[in-house]
């Protein structure tokens, strides 16, 4: 078969993913697309897939019929293949060398809320994986005053809204345009775009009423077949794919759900894929697709067996040795026995990029899939959290030992971040902190928070050991005890005093040490500017000799403490404390010319 030029190749169906912030309507939108497609299909048109839903072009054309003056499309692609599970977690497993198996993405944004944290994260991920996207501005039915027109094209429904409602929607869309501009994207409502290579298209939709879905589908189809021709040109050859999920199915044992993005996969093909304990080489025993006439999402056991599947497709593979298969691993069908080693090497290299052990001080990351592991490590390293060990599978003794090694250097790195994995039986984690979360971005937040908390508490502890600048005045008429220890009423003129802080007079002479502080007869562990408190002072000190009523005293801050204060705790240096420091420097320079040198006051 001649496949010499791209233009002669037939096109396969583009693979579409849905991403966006929690609750912005990903699932609802996908369900609506599927539902709309099922309603519009002719019997036999709707092929079933595993892990994905296929919307045939005939359905898209029918839906887009009223739009033919706005979006003139003649479809060459057979349809669109939507990955069924929306969100980061599964998307991360759609790995492909240098990018993603997904050809295009729908970024769902609640138009009434605008971009949120995960919308921005999604964009980052899409950028990194080089996946083009369009924005579905969802929930337009929530615009105040919106009159819904079930399943109609957005443009039809829009013209039927009052000018005030139209304006409200335009304002909301404009808000998205601004937010995208801040992220360096030109964006515009789809019907106002002339050059789709320069602008991100915003399609107003409602997952609830189905408005805008015709345009969404028409654009996905039109844009992919126009701009991604090379990528979606079908190659006749052994299948290339990715393991989406590893499952234990009743009756089948361990199976893998696979997305094939290129070539043909046949029964009895030899396949190679990544496993926890090394590369797996096995033979396809059976290929399963959901039985027809059922919504594949609810079909648990109703599979039918097929002899072959053509890209792009979602299919369940039955084979031996799949128990330790790794989700997110590439999977290749091998054309001949001699090529097995070549493919094995390819997969080993691919896996080694994500699973590693480095001789650095950092945390341990464990996950159940390659995609999740990769996303986690990337995100952690971007936040400046180094990773020492990254691996797939349950938490083992080795992981604990590695985390302990890091803890010797940096105590807060005694962490095992675990994504959907648990410790093996009998593995004790001891002092190592085990942080679980089943949501990637939350796990990252948890790790970051833990590290910051440990650092913060260490900082507080160290701060507590410093002698800080403070200045007090002994109030005339408030001498309660003249010696052993002295007890006087003082006013804090600036900075802070605490028990154990040594005191000096204006000449820089040591006069004793704060023993206790009482505020309204209650013992307190500090007094700050403006407070009037009773202070006991110990040391060889007597009122009338070393100190007297009306005297001003300073805390005797060692040079090193002052430096640490400025280096690590600048945030606790108040303006009044700064004034005290200036005076202290003058006093102390008489005996130490280097005191307070270089401080940025
Ligand atoms: N009015 C209105 N409500 C919607 C629309 N789309 C979704 N919703 C509602 O918004 C809520 C969240 O929708 P989901 O589809 O679960 O959102 P999701 O993004 O898949 O959420 P997660 O899977 O939790 O991330 C649900 O209560 C939906 O009914 C819409 O277009 N209009």
Domains of the chain are: 15-231 (3.40.50.300), 240-352 (2.40.30.10), 360-462 (3.40.50.10050), 470-590 (2.40.30.10)
* Ligand 1 proximity of 208 Cβ (cutoff 6 Å): yes
Q: Is the pLDDT of residue 296 over 80?
A: no
Largest Cα–Cα distance in the chain?
Answer: 109
Task: Write the CA distances from 216 to 29, 39, 137, 196, 549, integer angstroms.
Answer: 11, 17, 10, 14, 83
CA of 143 to the centre of ligand 1 (A): 15
pLDDT digits (tens, 9 = 90+) for 532-572: 999 999 998 999 999 999 999 999 999 999 999 998 888 89
Query: Does 206 contact ligand 1 (Cβ within 6 A)?
Result: yes
- Tell me the average pLDDT across 156-167: 96
| pLDDT of 22 above 70 | yes
Pocket test for ligand 1, best of 22, 28, 109, 136 (most atoms within 8 A of CB): 28
pLDDT of residue 437: 93
Q: Coil, strand or helix: which one is 392? A: strand
> Residues in the chain, how many?
601
* Distance (Å) from CA 26 to ligand 1 centroid: 6
Instruction: Give residue 8's pLDDT band: very low, low, confident or very high (50, 70, 90).
Output: low
Q: Per-residue pLDDT averaged across 51-55, rounded?
A: 87
pLDDT digits (tens, 9 = 90+) for 80-137: 999 988 888 888 899 988 789 999 999 999 999 999 988 998 998 899 899 999 999 9
**Ligand 1 in contact with 27 (CB < 6 A)?**
yes
Residue 46 has a pLDDT of: 54
Q: Give the model's confidence band at 340: pLDDT under 50 very low, under 70 low, under 90 confident, else very high.
A: very high
Strands of the 270-273 sheet, one edge to the other: 280-283, 270-273, 330-334, 240-249, 253-262, 313-318, 286-290, 303-306
Distance of CA 492 to the CA centre of its chain: 48
Q: Looking at residue 67, what is its pLDDT? A: 81
Q: Taking residues 280-297, what's their average pLDDT? A: 77
| 3-state percent helix, strand, coil for the chain, nearest multiple of 5 | 35, 30, 35
The residue to mutate among 91, 207, 210, 212, having the most atoms of ligand 1 within 8 angstroms of its beta carbon, is 207
pLDDT at residue 441 above 70? yes
Residue 139 to residues 35, 109, 173, 275, 537: CA-CA distances in angstroms?
17, 8, 12, 42, 70
Question: Does the CB atom of residue 141 touch ligand 1 within 6 A?
Answer: yes
For residues 443 and 377, the answer to whether their CB atoms sit within 8 Å is no
Q: 139 near 44, Cβ under 8 Å?
A: no
**How many Cα atoms within 13 Å fall on the side-chain side of residue 482?**
4
124 CA to centre of ligand 1 in angstroms: 22
Q: How many whole angstroms separate alpha carbon 71 and alpha carbon 134?
A: 15
Residues 362-404: tens digit of each pLDDT: 999 999 999 999 999 999 999 999 999 999 999 999 999 999 9
Supply the mean pLDDT for the chain: 91
Measured in angstroms, how far is the CA atom of residue 290 from the centroid of ligand 1?
A: 27
Q: Which of 235, 215, 245 is nearest to 52 (CA)?
A: 245
pLDDT at position 293 over 60? no
CB burial class (10 A; 0-12, 13-18, 19+) of residue 173? buried
The whole-number pLDDT of residue 598 equals: 85
Question: 210: Cβ below 6 Å to ligand 1?
Answer: no
Stretch 56-72: mean pLDDT, rounded? 81
């Amino acid at each position: 078969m001649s496949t010499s030029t791209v233009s002669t190749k037939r096109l396969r169906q583009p693979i579409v993913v849905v991403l966006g912030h929690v609750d912005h309507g990903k699932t609802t939108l996908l369900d609506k697309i599927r539902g709309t497609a099922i309603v519009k299909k002719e019997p036999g048109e709707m092929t079933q897939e595993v892990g994905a839903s296929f919307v045939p072009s005939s359905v898209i054309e029918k839906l887009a019929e009223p739009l033919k003056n706005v979006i003139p499309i003649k479809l060459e692609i057979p349809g669109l293949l939507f990955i069924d599970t929306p969100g980061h977690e599964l998307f991360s497993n759609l790995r492909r060398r240098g990018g993603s198996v997904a050809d295009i993405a729908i970024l769902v944004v609640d138009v009434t809320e605008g971009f949120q944290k995960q919308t921005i994260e999604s964009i980052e991920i899409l950028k990194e994986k080089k996946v083009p996207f369009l924005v579905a501005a969802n929930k337009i039915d929530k615009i105040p005053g919106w009159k819904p027109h079930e399943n109609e094209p957005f443009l039809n429904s829009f013209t039927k809204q009052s000018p005030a409602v139209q304006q409200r929607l335009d304002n909301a869309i404009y808000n998205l345009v601004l937010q995208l501009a801040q992220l360096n994207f030109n964006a515009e409502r789809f019907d106002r775009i002339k050059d789709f290579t320069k602008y991100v298209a915003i399609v107003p939709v409602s997952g609830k009423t189905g408005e805008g879905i015709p345009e969404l589908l028409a654009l996905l189809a039109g844009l992919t077949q126009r701009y991604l021709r090379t990528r979606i040109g079908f190659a006749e050859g052994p299948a290339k794919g990715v393991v989406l999920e590893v499952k234990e199915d009743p009756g089948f044992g361990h199976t893998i759900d696979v997305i094939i993005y290129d070539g043909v996969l046949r029964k009895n093909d030899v396949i190679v894929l990544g496993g926890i304990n090394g590369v797996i080489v096995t033979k396809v025993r059976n290929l399963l697709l959901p039985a027809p006439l059922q919504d594949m999402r609810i079909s648990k056991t109703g599979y039918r067996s097929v002899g072959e599947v053509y890209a792009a497709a979602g299919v369940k593979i039955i084979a031996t040795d799949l128990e330790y298969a790794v989700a997110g691993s590439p999977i290749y069908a091998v054309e001949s026995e001699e090529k097995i080693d070549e493919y094995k090497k390819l997969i080993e290299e691919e896996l080694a990029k994500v699973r590693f052990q480095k001789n650095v001080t950092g945390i341990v990351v464990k996950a159940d899939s390659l995609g999740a592991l990769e996303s986690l490590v990337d995100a952690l390293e971007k936040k400046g959290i180094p990773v020492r060990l990254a691996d797939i599978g349950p938490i083992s003794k080795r992981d604990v030992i590695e985390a302990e090694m890091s803890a010797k250097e940096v105590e807060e790195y005694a962490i095992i971040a675990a994504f959907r994995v648990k410790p093996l039986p009998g593995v004790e984690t001891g002092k190592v902190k085990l942080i679980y979360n089943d949501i990637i971005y939350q796990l990252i937040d948890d790790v970051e928070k833990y590290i910051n908390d440990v650092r913060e508490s260490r900082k507080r502890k160290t701060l507590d050991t410093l002698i800080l600048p403070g200045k007090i005045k002994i109030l005339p008429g408030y001498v309660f005890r003249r010696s052993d220890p002295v007890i006087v009423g003082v006013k804090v003129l600036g900075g802070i005093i605490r028990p154990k802080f040594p005191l000096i007079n204006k000449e820089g002479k040591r006069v004793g040490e704060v023993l206790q502080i009482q505020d309204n007869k209650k013992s307190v562990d500090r007094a700050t500017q403006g407070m009037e408190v009773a202070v006991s002072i110990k040391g060889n000190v007597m009122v009338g000799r070393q100190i007297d009523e009306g005297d001003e005293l300073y805390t005797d801050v060692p040079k090193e403490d002052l430096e640490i204060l400025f280096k690590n705790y600048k945030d606790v240096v108040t303006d009044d404390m700064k004034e005290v420091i200036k005076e202290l420097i003058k006093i102390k320079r008489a005996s130490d010319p280097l005191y307070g040198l270089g401080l940025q006051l």
